[in-house]
């Protein structure tokens, strides 16, 4: 069981926006600016969406954005598309120099 809290599931209709939260502590999510988000489609490897809290790698759509307030990081997906249906994981680098992953959130596009 992950020490980070993500909602087990979220849903939205095409074109809408959703936000996935990732709540931790000052020792992980709130420790530094090293929070990443990954997308994983069933049977596939994870894909990096966001790093350093809010930076998008090249090739990632601007529909994906990241933010943080205190010990909670958030991933927002705007203009939902069918292909966004996947699992999403947050991943902070901790004060104890280890890496954590959240328990994952299943996004359903209605």
Residues that bind another protein (CB under 8 A): 2, 34, 36, 38, 40, 45-48, 51-52, 57, 87, 89, 91, 93, 97-104
Q: Considering beta carbons, is residue 58 or 62 the nearer one to another protein?
A: 58
Of 77 and 91, the one with the shorter C-beta distance to another protein is 91
Nearer to another protein, 18 or 37 (CB): 37
Minimum separation from the CB atom of position 16 to another protein (A): 25
* 82: three-class secondary structure by DSSP: helix
Question: Minimal CA–CA distance to 35: which of 97, 105, 90?
Answer: 90
How far is the C-alpha of 88 from the C-alpha of 70, rounded, in Å? 20
The conformation of residue 84, written as its DSSP 8-state character, comes to G
Alpha-carbon gap, residue 45 to 31, rounded angstroms: 27
């Amino acid at each position: 069981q992950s020490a980070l809290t993500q909602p087990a599931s979220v849903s939205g209709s095409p074109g809408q926006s959703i936000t996935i939260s990732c709540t931790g502590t000052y020792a992980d999510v709130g420790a530094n600016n090293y929070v990443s988000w990954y997308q994983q489609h069933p049977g596939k490897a994870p894909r990096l969406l966001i790093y350093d809290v809010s930076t998008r790698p090249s090739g990632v759509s601007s529909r994906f954005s990241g933010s943080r307030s205190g010990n909670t990081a958030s991933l927002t997906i705007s203009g939902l598309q069918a292909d966004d249906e996947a699992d999403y994981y947050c991943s902070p680098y901790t004060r104890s120099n280890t890496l954590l992953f959240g328990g994952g959130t299943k996004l359903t596009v209605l």
